[in-house]
Structure 1
Amino acid sequence: MVSPKHPREKTLLATIFLLNGIEFLHAGMIAFGAGPIMGHIGASPEEFTLATVVYAVVAVATISQQRWLVERMGWRGFILASVAVFVAGAAICGGSDGFGQFLFGRAVMGLGGAAFMTSARVLITLMPPTPRRFLGIKVFATALALGNALAPWLAGEMVTRDQWRMIFGILGVAAVTAAGFATLCLPTERAPRDQRSGGHPLAMLALVGGCFLTLYALQRATYDFYHDALPLLATFAAGSALLWYFVYHQRRQAHPLLVLARLGQPRYLSGLALFTLCYMVLGANNYMLPVLTQRALGFSWQVAGMVQGAGLLAALVAFWTMASIMPKDPSPKKFYVAGFVLLAACGGLLTRLNGDADLWRDVFPAVAGYGAFIILVMATTALQAFTGLQADAQAFSHGQQLKNMMSQFGIAAGVAGAALSLQWRSGEHYTALTARFSPGDTAFAEAAGELTSALSASHGAQAAQLAVGQLAQQLIQQATLLASLDYFAFLLVLSLIGAVTMLAQRVLK
C-alpha cells in the first residue's frame, strides 16, 4: 500500500532542507570567519560579540512571535517576508565598512532569519501523518549536518581569497532559492480570528529586556568578569527576573504567545535541557576549534576550514546509520550514550595534541567524533522530546519555538564560557611560562642564541632583538595551546558525565 503524500512533496522537502541548512551554514560561517570580518570592519572582539548578542536578542523575540505572525500572514507570506528581511540584512553586513553598519545588518538578519529552523521543523507537519513524514525528518537532519560541515570549509575558502563579503552573498542566494521553492508549495491560509494567539506587548518587552540583560552579562563576562563581577551578576539577575516574569505572565493567559502550561511535560523539559546543552557545546566548539587550529597550531584558514568541514561530515554518516537502525531498534538510549562517548573521544584526542600535531592525523578524527555527537544526540532528542505534543498542533509549534529560543541562549552561553575559559587559562599558562623567559634561564638562553645565529646573516645587529620577539610570539602561542587543551579536557569530563547520565535516565526512552 502506497502512503499518501503532500501534492508538492519534493518542493516542500527542498524548502525544509534550505531553511534549516541556512541556519547552520550561517552560524558556522560567521563564527569561523569572525577574525577576518573583525579586521575588515575595524571591530574589536568585544564589539563583535556584542553584535552576536544583538542578533540573539532579536532572534529570540522573532522566534517567540513566529506562530503569531503565521496566523496572520499564512505560511507563504511569512516565509517570503522573512527571506526578504534576511537578504536585506545580509546585504547590509556584506557591504559594511564599519562596526555600526555591521551591527545594524546583524539585527536585520536576526529579524528575518531567526525562525528559519523553527519553520523548517514545523513545515514537516504539512506532510500527511504517515511513514513518509519521517522522510521530512531525514531531510531536516541532513540539512543540519551538511550546513554545519560546509560552513568552515566555505568560510575558509572565502577568507583565503580575501572575499569575506561572499559569506553573506552565499547566504543571500540560498535564502532567495528557498523563497522560490516556498512560493510553489506553501499554503496561504490564515488562522480564523478567534483562534489566533494574543499579542501581549508588556510580556514581549519583558522577554526582550530579559534576553538582552542576560546575554549582555554573559558577553561582558568574557572581558570584565574578574574586575566587575558584582555588576555583571546584578545585570544577569535582573535579566533572569524579567524572563521569570514573562514565564509567569504567559502561564496565566487564555491566548498566550507560548502555551507554556501545556509544555510542562517531563519528557519535553528533559529534551529542552538536552538541546540547550548541545547548543552550548556547539557554540563553545565553534569558538575553540578555530582558536586551536589557527592561533595555537598555526595552520592557515583554508587548511583549517577544510579539515574541520571534512570532520563534521561524520554527522551525515552518523545520522544515516542511526536512521537505518532505528526502524528495527528504536530505543534512543544507545544513540545518546554513543553520542556522548564520541564527544568524549573528541576531547580525549585533542587533549593529547602538541605543537607538532598534524591536522588530518590528529584533529580530523576528533572533529568527526564531535560531529557525530551533534547529530546523534540532537536528532534523537528531536524525535523523543516532542512525542507528547504531536496531537496538539499549537503546543508542538510553540515547543519548537521555545526550543529554538533556548538555542540562542545556549550558543551565546557556550561562546562566552569558552572565551572566559580561554582568557583565564591562557593567562595562567602565560604567567607560568614567562617565569622562564629571562636570560638567566638555560633553555631560554640556548633558544635565543640559536635564533640569533640563524637571523644574524640577514638582519645583522637586529638579530638578537628579532630572536626575542619570535620567542615571545611562540610563548603566546604555547599559552594558547595549553589553554585550548584545558578546555578540551573539561569537555572530556563533561562528556563522560553525560554518557553516564543518559545511561541511567528513564525519561527519554
Structure 2
Amino acid sequence: MSFHTAPPSIPAAQTAPPFALLSVIFLLTLLEFLQSGMIAFAASPIMGEIGASPEEFSLTTVAYAAVAISTISKQRWLVERLGWRNFVLASLGVFILGSAICATSGSYPAFMTGRVIMGLGGAAFMTTGRVLVNLIPPSPQRFTGIKYFATGLAAGIAFAPGLASLSVAHDDWHGIFVLLMLLAAAAAVFATLSLPTELVPEDLRSQSHPVLFMSLASGSFLILYAIQRSQYDFFTDATMLLTIIGCGALAMFYFFRAIRGHERPLLGLQSLKHPRYIVGVALFMLCYVLLGANNYILPVMFQRGLGVPWEIAGKVQTLGLSSGLVAWLVMMWALPKWPGPKKFLVAGFVSLAIFGIQLSRLTSDVHIWTDILPALAFNGIFLMFVMATTAMHTFRDVQHHDAVLSHAQQLKNMLAQFGTAFGVASSTLMLQWRSTEHYTALAIRFENGNPIYTQMLHALSQALTINGAGANADSLALAQLAQMVTQQATLMACLDYFTVVAVAGVLCALAMSVQRLMK
C-alpha cells in the first residue's frame, strides 16, 4: 500500500520550534477539551435557557459526535487539498460560526444547529494538534511540541468545570461560547503566522467515495443514537436499540471493509496493525469512557446528591483536576531519567482506584474541601499519567510516516467519540438503576408506624410552622422529607458507581504491572 508525502516540515536547520506553531498546538488541544467539558458541566442550565428536555439536549451531543466522526475521517483528505494553514483556518472559522450561533441561540433548534456547525469545524482539533507536532523535524525539539499538546489537554480538562460554573453563577451561559470564540480567534492568528500552505500533488492524494462516506456517517449516527436512547429505553425497549446498533454496525463494517484494499484509502488501516497501537487505543478508549462517565456523575453527585451550588462545584472540580498539570510537570522531570511507561500507567490506575475508594466512602456529612477535593486530585493524576503516557507510546510504531500517523490519530479520535458516549450512557443507566433500588429501600422505612419517620415529620412540620407555613406545614414537611429521601438515594447510587471505578482501577493497575508490551 502506498502513502502520499506530507506537506513540508519546518526547516531542519531551525534549532527550536517557533512559538506560533507551539501556540497553535496548545490552543487546538485546549479548545477540544474545554468545549466538551464546559458544555457537559453546564448542561442543565443551558437546557433551561433554551427550553430543551434532557432527551433533546442529549440528541445535540449525538449530532455533534456523529458529525465529529465524519469530519475526523476526512481530516487528512482535506489537508491534502487545502494545505495545513487553510485547513486550520477554515476549521477555526466554522467553529467560531457555530459558537456564535450557540451564544445567541434562545431555542433548541438554534442551539442544535450551532452545535452541529461547531462539530464540523472543531471535531478534528485534537487530531490536528497532535499531527502538527510532526511539522517539527525529528529531534529532541519535537518533545517540546508534545509538551504543549499535553499541557493543552490537561488545562482543558481542569479548567472546563470552573469556567463553566463562573458563567452559570453569573447568569450568563453564553459566556462559555464567547470564550471559545476568543480562543479560536487567537489560534487563527498563530496559525496564519506559522503553518505551511503547500498542497499534496493530485496523484498522491487519498480518495473518498461519497457512498462509503455516507455509510460511515449514517452508521456512526445510528450507533451513537442507540447509545443515547439507551438512557431512556434500555429497560423498556432493548430490542429496538439492539436493532439500531446492528444496522449501524453493518454500515460501518461495509465502510471499513471497502477501504481495506484501496490503493490510497481515506484511512490506511493496513498500516495500523501493531500490537502497541491496538493496546494503546484500547487504553485511550477506557480513559474516554471514564472521562465521559465522570463528567456526568460528578455534577450529579455535587448538585443532586449533596446540594452543592454550581459555582462551588465548579471550583472544586477545577482545583482537583488541576493536579493533572502538576502530574504532567512531574512526568516532564522524570521522563528523561526514567522513560519507561509502565510505572506511570500503574501509578495512574492506582490513582484511579484511590479516587474511587475515597468517593465510595462519602457520607451526607461530607466536607467538600477535605473529603472530595483530594479524591478529585487523584482523578486528575490518573488522567494525565495514563493519557499522556499512552499518547507518547501508542504511536511509536506508526510515526515513521506523517500520513500513517495522521490515520492512526484519526481512527483513535473517531473511536473516542464512541467511548465518551458509552461512558455517559452507562453511568446514566447505573445511576437510574441504583438510585431506584436505594429509593425503594429507603421509602419502605418511611411509614406511619416507624418512630423515626414520625419524629422527623413532626420536627419538620414544627419548623415550617414557626417559619410561617401555617396550615400547609404538614404537606410541606412530607414533600421535604420525600426530597431528602430522593437526595439520599441519588448520593448512594453515586457511591455505588465510584465503587465500580475503584474496582476498575485496581484491576487495571494489576494488568499494567504484568503486561510486557509497554514497559
- Number of the residue aligned with 2:517: 507
Match for 1:9 among 12, 18, 41? 18
2:152 equivalent to 1:143: yes
State the alpha-carbon separation in 2 of the partners of residues 445 and 351 from structure 1.
30
2:87 equivalent to 1:69: no
- Number of the residue aligned with 1:382: 391
Unaligned segments of structure 1, at least 5 residues = none
Cα pair 2:16 2:141 within 8 Å, conserved: no
- Number of the residue aligned with 1:229: 238
Cα pair 1:271 1:508 within 8 Å, conserved: no
Give how far 1:437 is off.
2.4
State the alpha-carbon separation in 2 of the partners of residues 506 and 237 from structure 1.
35
2:83 partner SS: helix
- Number of the residue aligned with 1:251: 260
User: RMSD value over aligned CA atoms?
Assistant: 1.1
2:466 equivalent to 1:463: no
Superimposed CA distance per residue, residues 129-175 of structure 1 (whole angstroms, 9 cap, x where no aligned partner)? 11011011111111111111111001001000000011011001100
- Give runs of aligned pairs for residues 45-84 of structure 1, distance below 5 A: 45-84=54-93
State the alpha-carbon separation in 2 of the partners of residues 496 and 4 from structure 1.
47
2:202 equivalent to 1:193: yes
Superimposed CA distance per residue, residues 179-216 of structure 1 (whole angstroms, 9 cap, x where no aligned partner)? 01000000000101111000122221111111111111
State the alpha-carbon separation in 2 of the partners of residues 320 and 258 from structure 1.
34
Cα pair 1:422 1:483 within 8 Å, conserved: yes
Give how far 1:407 is off.
1.1
- Number of the residue aligned with 2:494: 484
- Give runs of aligned pairs for residues 73-472 of structure 1, distance below 5 A: 73-457=82-466, 458-472=468-482
2:192 partner SS: helix
What's the TM-score, normalizing by structure 1? 0.98
2:256 partner SS: helix
Give how far 1:5 is off.
3.4
State the alpha-carbon separation in 2 of the partners of residues 355 and 269 from structure 1.
43
Return the letter of the residue paired with 1:489: T
Superimposed CA distance per residue, residues 365-407 of structure 1 (whole angstroms, 9 cap, x where no aligned partner)? 1111111111111111111111111212211011011111111
State the alpha-carbon separation in 1 of the partners of residues 499 and 335 from structure 2.
32
What's the TM-score, normalizing by structure 2? 0.96
State the alpha-carbon separation in 1 of the partners of residues 129 and 251 from structure 2.
29
1:387 partner SS: coil
2:503 equivalent to 1:493: yes
2:146 partner SS: helix
Give how far 1:236 is off.
1.0
State the alpha-carbon separation in 2 of the partners of residues 326 and 150 from structure 1.
25
State the alpha-carbon separation in 2 of the partners of residues 78 and 129 from structure 1.
23
State the alpha-carbon separation in 2 of the partners of residues 312 and 158 from structure 1.
19
State the alpha-carbon separation in 2 of the partners of residues 174 and 465 from structure 1.
51
State the alpha-carbon separation in 2 of the partners of residues 234 and 492 from structure 1.
33
State the alpha-carbon separation in 1 of the partners of residues 15 and 351 from structure 2.
37
Return the letter of the residue paired with 1:501: A
State the alpha-carbon separation in 1 of the partners of residues 261 and 296 from structure 2.
39
Change (3 A) 1:109 1:407: same
Return the letter of the residue paired with 1:477: Q
The number of equivalent residue pairs is: 507
Return the letter of the residue paired with 1:478: Q
Change (3 A) 1:293 1:5: farther
Superimposed CA distance per residue, residues 445-464 of structure 1 (whole angstroms, 9 cap, x where no aligned partner)? 11001111111121121111
State the alpha-carbon separation in 1 of the partners of residues 316 and 80 from structure 2.
44
Give how far 1:6 is off.
6.6
Match for 1:35 among 2, 20, 44? 44
Cα pair 1:350 1:485 within 8 Å, conserved: yes
1:152 partner SS: helix
Superimposed CA distance per residue, residues 408-465 of structure 1 (whole angstroms, 9 cap, x where no aligned partner)? 1111111111111111111111111111222222211110011111111211211111
2:397 partner SS: helix
Which is worse superposed, 62-71 or 208-217?
A: 208-217
Residue identity over aligned pairs, in percent, reads 53
1:435 partner SS: helix
